[in-house]
C-alpha cells in the first residue's frame, strides 16, 4: 500500500526534475567564472558566485535595449488587441444588429484556422508596402491583428453571459453606447479581459519569426531575436549566454508566479476553442 | 430610448478598427498570397505569371520532400510518443492529493517560455564537449555525440526539445478533463471491485477520448506549423536533416536571393496540407471520438 502511494510521486518527481533541471543548470552556469568551470563541474554550484556576469551581459549584449523593446511592444499590442476585441465583441453581441454581427463574428473566426506562418511572406510584403519595415509598427500591427480572433471569440462568449437588465438600466440613465461600454461593460468583463491580455502579452513577448525578419536594426530588436543574435555573437562564452537566458526567462516566470491561474486558463482555453 | 444600442454610427466605430486590422493582416495576405504564388516576384523587379511552376518546383524538390517527412515526424512523435506519456502523467497527477498543485504548476512552466530561448537553452544542453547531456552519457562510457551537427541525431534532438516545451501544456489540458469526471463513476467501479488500472482503462480513458482527439488535432496543427525551434537550433541543417516546410519556405524565400512568389506558393502548400490532414483525421478517427465535450 505504501509502495502504491510512493510510485506516482516518484514518477512525477522524475518528470518535474527533467522539466526544471535545465533552469537550475542555466542559473548555476550563469554565475560561473569560465567555460572550464562549467565543463569540469556542469552539475555543481558555482565556486564563487560571479554576479558581475549579469552587469556585463546587460551592457555588452544590450539586453536592456531588447528587454525594453519587448516590454513596451508586448504591453501595447496586448492592450490594443484586448480593447479592440472588447469593442467589437460588445457591438456584435449586445447591439441590435444581429445579422451583421454574426457575419463579422464568422469572418473574424476564420482567422483561427489559418496557421500563422502561412501568412508570413504576404505579411512581410504588406509591411514593406506600408513602409513600416524595420520599425516597431511592423510588429505592433501584426501582433495586434493576430490576437483579435481569439480575443473576439472569448470576449463575445463572456459578454453574452452578462445580464441584459444592467444595460437597460444604464440606458434609462441616459448613457450613450460609448459610456455604456466604458462604464458598465468593460468593468464587468474584466476577468475575461485579463485572460485575453495575458495570452496576447505572452504571444507577443515570445514571438520569433516576424521579429526576426521584419526588424533588422539591432536597437529595435526584441528579446527572442536579440537573444539569438547574442548567442551567435558570444558562442564561446557560455556563462554570458546563460546570463542572457536568465534575463529573458525571469520576468515571465515572475509573472507566472503571480498569475499562474489566469495564464494556465487563458492558454488552455484559447487552444481548445481554436 | 434604445438609441445607445441601435446607432449605426456607434456600431461602426466599435467594429471598424478590428475589421480594418483583421482585413489588412489576415484577409488581404490570404488573397495576395494566392496571387503572388503564381508569379516569380522577387520584391524588386517586375514579375510575370508562371502558372503552377512554383508549386511544381516545390513538389519536385527532394529537399521539400524531406521537409514534408520531417513535419510528419513532428506529428508522429507528438501522437505516438508524447500523447501516451502526457496521458500517463495527467493520470498520475490526478491520482495524488498531496503536491497536486505543485506538479501542475511545475510541468506547465516550459510552455510559457519563448521558443527561441528554449532553442538556445537546449543547444547548450546538447553542446558536445561540455553540455550536460553528453556529460551524463559520458558517465556510462558513451562517447560524445554531436547532437545538432550529426544528421543522424539532429532531428531527434529537436523533437525532444520541442516535446519538452509542449508536453506540460497538454498534461494540464488532459488533467482538467480527468478532474472533471464525476467522482461517483470511480466510486461505483470501486464497489464493483475494479482496481486502479481497470478504472483508468475503462473509465478515465474512454471519458477523456474527446479531449485526446482535440490534442491530436492540435498536434497535427502544431506539427504543420513548427518553424521557430528549427530556425533557432539548426536552421534546417545539417544538410536538410531538420528542415520542415516552413523553414524551407523561409530559407528559400527570404534568403540572399529572395523569391516571394515561390515562398507564397509553399505557404499555400502548407495550408493545403494542414487542411488535408485535419479533415482526413476528422473523417477517420476524429468522428468516432466526438463526444459530449463542451
| Phi, psi angles (nearest 5°) of residue B49 | -80, 135
Residue A216 touches partner B, C-beta closer than 8 Å: no
Q: What is the CA radius of gyration of chain B?
A: 24
**A204 pLDDT above the threshold of 70:** yes
Over residues B131-144, the mean pLDDT reads: 86
Exposure string (b/e) for B206-238, b if CB count within 10 Å is 16 or more? ebbbbbbbbbbbbbbbbbbbbbbbbbbbbebbb
A46 and A76 in a single domain? The answer is no
Q: Which residue has the higher pLDDT, A115 or B41?
A: B41
| Min Cα separation A223/chain B (Å) | 9
Looking at the structure, tell me whether residues A135 and A269 fall in a common domain. yes
Whether residues A98 and A212 share a domain: the answer is: yes
> B24 or B182, which is more confident?
B24
Chain B positions touching A149 (Cβ under 8 A) are 22, 26
**Distance from C-alpha of B49 to C-alpha of B29, rounded to nearest angstrom:** 18
Q: pLDDT grade, residue A175 (50/70/90)?
A: confident
One domain for residues A158 and A253:
yes
Give the model's confidence band at B293: pLDDT under 50 very low, under 70 low, under 90 confident, else very high: very low
- Do residue A126 and residue A12 come from a single domain? no
- Cα dist. A170→A158, B36, B143 in Å? 19, 51, 74
pTM value is: 0.88
How far apart, in whole angstroms, are the C-alpha atoms of residue A97 and residue A172? 20
For chain A, how many residues are written?
Answer: 274
Q: What is residue B66's predicted lDDT score, i.e. its pLDDT?
A: 94
In this structure, is residue A58 part of a structural domain?
no
pLDDT at position B40: 87
Is residue A191, in this structure, part of any structural domain at all? Answer: yes
pLDDT band at B292 (very low <50, low <70, confident <90, very high): very low
**How many angstroms from the chain centroid is the CA of residue A88?**
22
Give the N- to C-terminal CA distance of chain B in Å, as an integer: 37
Helix (H) or strand (E) holding B22: helix B8-22
Does A231 touch chain B if contact means CB atoms closer than 8 Å? yes
User: In a 3-state reduction of DSSP, which class is residue B239?
Assistant: coil
**Considering the domain boundaries, does residue A57 fall inside one?**
no
In the structure, what pLDDT confidence band is assigned to residue B232 with cuts at 50, 70 and 90? very high
Cβ neighbors of B185 (< 8 A, separation 6 or more) are B203, B207
Same-domain status, A43 and A164: no
Residues A20 and A154 in one domain: no
CB contact at 8 A, B211 and A273: no
Which of A14-18, A185-189, A233-237, B233-237 shows the lowest mean pLDDT across its residues? A233-237
Q: Domain tally for chain A?
A: 2
Q: Domain check: are A91 and A159 in the same one?
A: yes
Let me know whether A156 and A239 are in one domain: yes
> Does residue A59 lie within any of the structural domains?
no
Same structural domain, A224 and A161: yes
- Nearest Cα to B185, choosing from B171, B205, B167, B169? B205
- Say if the Cβ atoms of A88 and B135 lie within 8 Å: no
Chain B residues touching A100 at Cβ < 8 A = 11
Cα of B152 to nearest chain A Cα, Å:
23
Of A188, A208, A203, A186, the residue nearest A150 (C-alpha)? A203
pLDDT at A272: 65
> Could you tell me the pLDDT band of residue A168, with boundaries at 50, 70 and 90?
confident
Residue A97 in this model has a pLDDT that exceeds 90? no
Query: What's B143's DSSP letter?
Result: P
Are residues A88 and A30 both part of a single domain? no
Question: What does the alpha-carbon distance between residue A105 and residue A200 come to, in Å, rounded to a whole number?
Answer: 19
Q: Which residues contact A143 (CB under 8 A, 6 or more apart)?
A: A73, A74, A77, A81, A200, A203, A204, A207, A210
User: What confidence score (pLDDT) does residue B1 get?
Assistant: 46
Q: Half-sphere exposure of A125 toward its Cβ, with a 13 Å CA cutoff?
A: 24
B214-229 per-position pLDDT tens digit: 889 888 888 988 999 9
Q: Is the pLDDT of residue B288 over 70?
A: no
| A129, A208: one domain | yes
| Residue B52 CB coordination number (10 Å) | 11
Closest CA to B126 of B152, B158, B167, B78: B158
Burial of residue A257, with CB atoms counted within 10 A of its CB: 0-12 exposed, 13-18 middle, 19 or more buried: exposed
Domain that holds residue A19: 2-50
Distance CA A244, CA A251 (A): 12
Q: Give A88's contacts in chain B (Cβ within 8 Å).
A: 14-15, 18-19
- Residues from chain B contacting residue A39 (CB–CB below 8 Å): 129-130
- The mean pLDDT value for A112-130 works out to 87
Structural domains in chain B? 61-289 (1.10.3720.10)
Rounded mean pLDDT, A130-149: 93
Q: For chain A, state the CA radius of gyration.
A: 23
CB within 8 Å: A167 and B5: yes
Please judge whether A118 and B22 are an interchain contact, meaning their C-beta atoms are less than 8 angstroms apart. no
Say if the Cβ atoms of B250 and A209 lie within 8 Å: yes
A255 pLDDT band, cuts 50/70/90, is: confident
Assess if residue A258 is contained within a domain.
Answer: yes
Residues 6+ apart with CB under 8 A from A260: B105, B108
Give me the CATH number covering residue A240. 1.10.3720.10
Q: Cβ separation of B172 and A95 shorter than 8 Å?
A: no
Amino acid at each position: 500500500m505504501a509502495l502504491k502511494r510512493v510510485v506516482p510521486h516518484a514518477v512525477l518527481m522524475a518528470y518535474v526534475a527533467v522539466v526544471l533541471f535545465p533552469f537550475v543548470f542555466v542559473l548555476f552556469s550563469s554565475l560561473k567564472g569560465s567555460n572550464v568551470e562549467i565543463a569540469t563541474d556542469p552539475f555543481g554550484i558555482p565556486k564563487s558566485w560571479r554576479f558581475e556576469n549579469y552587469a556585463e551581459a546587460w551592457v555588452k549584449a544590450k539586453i536592456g535595449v531588447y528587454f525594453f523593446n519587448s516590454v513596451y511592444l508586448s504591453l501595447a499590442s496586448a492592450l490594443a488587441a484586448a480593447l479592440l476585441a472588447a469593442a467589437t465583441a460588445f457591438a456584435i453581441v449586445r447591439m441590435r444588429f444581429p445579422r451583421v454581427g454574426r457575419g463579422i463574428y464568422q469572418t473574424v473566426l476564420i482567422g483561427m484556422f489559418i496557421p500563422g506562418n502561412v501568412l508570413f511572406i504576404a505579411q512581410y510584403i504588406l509591411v514593406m508596402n506600408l513602409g513600416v519595415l524595420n520599425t516597431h509598427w511592423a510588429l505592433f500591427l501584426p501582433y495586434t491583428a493576430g490576437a483579435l480572433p481569439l480575443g473576439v471569440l472569448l470576449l463575445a462568449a463572456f459578454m453574452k453571459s452578462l445580464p441584459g437588465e444592467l444595460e437597460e438600466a444604464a440606458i434609462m440613465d441616459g448613457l450613450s453606447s460609448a459610456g455604456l461600454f466604458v462604464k458598465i461593460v468593460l468593468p464587468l468583463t474584466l476577468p475575461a479581459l485579463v485572460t485575453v491580455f495575458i495570452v496576447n502579452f505572452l504571444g507577443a513577448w515570445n514571438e520569433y519569426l516576424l521579429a526576426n525578419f521584419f526588424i533588422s536594426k539591432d536597437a529595435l530588436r526584441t528579446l527572442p531575436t536579440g537573444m539569438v543574435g547574442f548567442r551567435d555573437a558570444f558562442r564561446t562564452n557560455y556563462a554570458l549566454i546563460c546570463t542572457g537566458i536568465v534575463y529573458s526567462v525571469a520576468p515571465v516566470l515572475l509573472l507566472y508566479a503571480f498569475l499562474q491561474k489566469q495564464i494556465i486558463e487563458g492558454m488552455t482555453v484559447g487552444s481548445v476553442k481554436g | 430610448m434604445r438609441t445607445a444600442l441601435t446607432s449605426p454610427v456607434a456600431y461602426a466605430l466599435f467594429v471598424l478598427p478590428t475589421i480594418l486590422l483583421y482585413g489588412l493582416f489576415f484577409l488581404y495576405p490570404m488573397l495576395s498570397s494566392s496571387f503572388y504564388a503564381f508569379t516569380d516576384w522577387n520584391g524588386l523587379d517586375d514579375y510575370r505569371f508562371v502558372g503552377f511552376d512554383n508549386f511544381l518546383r516545390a513538389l519536385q524538390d527532394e529537399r521539400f520532400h524531406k521537409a514534408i517527412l520531417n513535419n510528419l515526424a513532428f506529428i508522429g512523435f507528438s501522437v505516438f510518443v508524447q500523447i501516451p506519456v502526457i496521458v500517463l502523467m495527467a493520470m498520475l497527477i490526478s491520482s495524488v492529493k498531496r503536491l497536486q498543485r505543485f506538479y501542475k504548476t511545475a510541468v506547465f512552466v516550459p510552455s510559457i517560455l519563448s521558443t527561441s530561448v528554449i532553442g538556445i537553452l537546449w543547444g547548450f544542453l546538447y553542446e558536445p564537449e561540455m553540455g550536460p547531456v553528453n556529460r551524463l552519457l559520458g558517465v556510462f562510457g558513451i562517447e560524445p555525440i554531436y547532437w545538432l551537427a550529426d544528421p543522424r541525431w539532429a532531428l531527434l534532438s529537436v523533437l525532444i526539445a520541442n516535446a519538452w516545451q509542449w508536453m506540460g501544456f497538454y498534461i494540464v489540458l488532459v488533467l482538467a478533463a480527468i478532474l472533471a469526471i464525476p467522482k461517483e463513476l470511480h466510486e461505483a467501479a470501486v464497489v464493483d471491485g475494479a482496481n486502479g488500472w481497470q478504472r483508468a482503462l475503462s473509465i478515465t480513458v474512454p471519458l477523456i477520448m474527446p479531449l485526446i482527439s482535440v490534442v491530436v488535432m492540435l498536434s497535427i496543427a502544431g506539427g504543420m506549423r513548427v518553424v521557430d525551434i528549427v530556425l533557432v537550433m539548426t536552421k534546417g541543417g545539417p544538410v536538410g536533416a531538420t528542415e520542415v516546410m516552413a523553414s524551407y519556405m523561409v530559407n528559400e524565400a527570404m534568403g540572399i536571393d529572395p523569391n516571394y512568389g515561390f515562398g507564397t506558393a509553399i505557404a499555400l502548400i502548407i495550408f493545403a496540407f494542414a487542411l488535408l490532414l485535419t479533415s482526413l483525421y476528422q473523417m477517420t478517427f476524429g468522428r468516432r471520438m466526438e463526444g459530449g465535450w463542451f
